[in-house]
């Protein structure tokens, strides 16, 4: 692997599927059971905060029952090898990348295990349940504590850092994402604007944006991601 390679990896719900977390748009996925407008928009939260808290409280408690899979571990291994030449940008709100050992990580849609106060903007780690009765440890007010998660219509986090990393990478890789949600789905177009930047899709099946990727490999993330990292690091069995 050449020493000048700088990689940005975008991950989506598909990388966590084999860990036991549902994706959003596959058959039986989250958006078949819940209406996006009710649980993943600011209006839905204003209309019925208890419903939104229940939606995220259930996911937060279940997160403790699942483990990272071989795909998360392969990306953590890649970071150990190339350090700050790798950045993972995840759309996922789970903590499986962290638990696999990844540290160079941006959660552009926020994190299930963080909550924030709408009154004082304080953000803190939360592994249990929250409600409209939860008191903010900062301003001591209640009624303003919400998931630190980016809903539809809200601005994703650390976008300047993400765009800078994409503009300076030599390889952009998308793993386990359907290419439905923007601005993440547009990252590959931005990467292609840089001459010579490679683009690779690793997914169970072609995403909506498959044609935008120069290279594609399909199969379960727990198989295709470790195989790709092995090949990149020259540590493959073949
Ligand atoms: C914003 C948190 C302005 C909640 C989420 C054009 C430009 C800009 C915006 C828009 C635009 N067009 C429309 C918009 C608005 C909107 C949008 O994109 N709407 C869509 C529905 C059309 N976007 C927004 O509102 C965003 N904000 O645009 O602000 C802005 C713009 C630019 C710069 C600054 C400001 C905010 C979007 C964030 C919404 N919040 N999540 C929660 O998680 O509960 S999005 C939600 O979708 C999740 O984060 C999820 O990760 C994400 C994307 O879904 P995927 O991860 O791709 O999951 P999906 O189920 O779709 O696909 C799974 C894939 O895995 C499949 O391909 C499947 O084949 C594969 N797979 C399955 N099993 C496996 C597998 N792969 C490998 N192995 C397996 N075993």
Gap from CA of 78 to ligand 1 centroid (Å): 25
Distance in angstroms (rounded) separating the CA atoms of residues 223 and 217: 10
Gap from CA of 183 to ligand 1 centroid (Å): 8
Q: What is the tens place of the pLDDT at every residue in 107-121?
A: 999 999 999 999 999
Residue 150 in contact with residue 109, Cβ under 8 Å?
Answer: yes
Taking Cα atoms as reference points, which of 196, 6, 207, 5 lies closest to residue 91? 207
Report whether residue 218 contacts ligand 1, using a CB cutoff of 6 Å: no
* Ligand 1 pocket test target in 13, 31, 147, 187 with most atoms within 8 Å of CB: 13
Residues annotated catalytic, as ranges: 109
Q: Is 147 helix (H, G, I), strand (E, B) or coil?
A: strand
Report whether residue 78 contacts ligand 1, using a CB cutoff of 6 Å: no
Model pTM score: 0.96
For residues 113-132, give the mean pLDDT: 98
Report whether residue 205 contacts ligand 1, using a CB cutoff of 6 Å: yes
pLDDT band at 237 (very low <50, low <70, confident <90, very high): low
Does 166 score more than 80 pLDDT? Answer: yes
Q: What is the tens place of the pLDDT at every residue in 28-80?
A: 888 888 899 999 999 999 999 999 999 999 999 999 999 999 999 999 999 99
Gap from CA of 35 to ligand 1 centroid (Å): 15
Pure H helices in 187-234: 187-192, 221-233
Q: Where are the beta strands (DSSP E) in 74-224?
A: 86-90, 105-107, 110-117, 123-125, 145-149, 171-175, 198-203, 215-218
Peptide bond into 192 cis (omega under 30): no
Closest-CA residue, ligand 1 atom 58, reads 13
Q: What is the tens place of the pLDDT at every residue in 202-236?
A: 999 999 999 999 999 999 999 999 999 999 998 76
């Amino acid at each position: 692997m050449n020493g000048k390679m700088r990689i940005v990896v975008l991950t989506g719900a598909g990388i966590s599927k084999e860990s036991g977390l549902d994706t959003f748009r596959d058959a039986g996925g989250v958006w078949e059971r819940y209406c996006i407008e009710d649980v993943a928009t600011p209006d839905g939260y204003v209309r019925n905060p208890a419903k939104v808290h229940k939606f995220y409280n259930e996911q937060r408690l279940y997160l403790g029952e699942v483990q990272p899979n071989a795909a998360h571990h392969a990306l953590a291994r890649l970071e150990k090898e190339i350090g700050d030449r790798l950045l993972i940008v995840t759309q996922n709100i789970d903590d499986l990348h962290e638990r696999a050992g990844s540290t160079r990580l941006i959660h552009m849609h926020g994190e299930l295990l963080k909550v924030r106060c709408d009154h004082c903007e304080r953000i803190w780690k939360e592994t249990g349940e929250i409600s409209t009765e939860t008191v903010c440890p900062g301003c001591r007010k209640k009624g303003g504590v919400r998931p630190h998660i980016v809903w539809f219509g809200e601005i994703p986090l650390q976008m300047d850092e993400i765009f800078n990393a994409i503009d300076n990478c030599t390889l952009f890789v998308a793993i386990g994402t359907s290419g439905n949600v923007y601005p993440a789905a547009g990252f590959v177009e931005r990467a292609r604007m840089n001459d010579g930047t490679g683009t690779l899709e690793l997914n169970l099946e072609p995403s909506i944006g498959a044609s935008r990727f120069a290279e594609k490999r399909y199969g379960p993330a727990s198989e295709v991601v470790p195989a790709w990292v092995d090949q990149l690091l020259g540590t493959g069995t073949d």
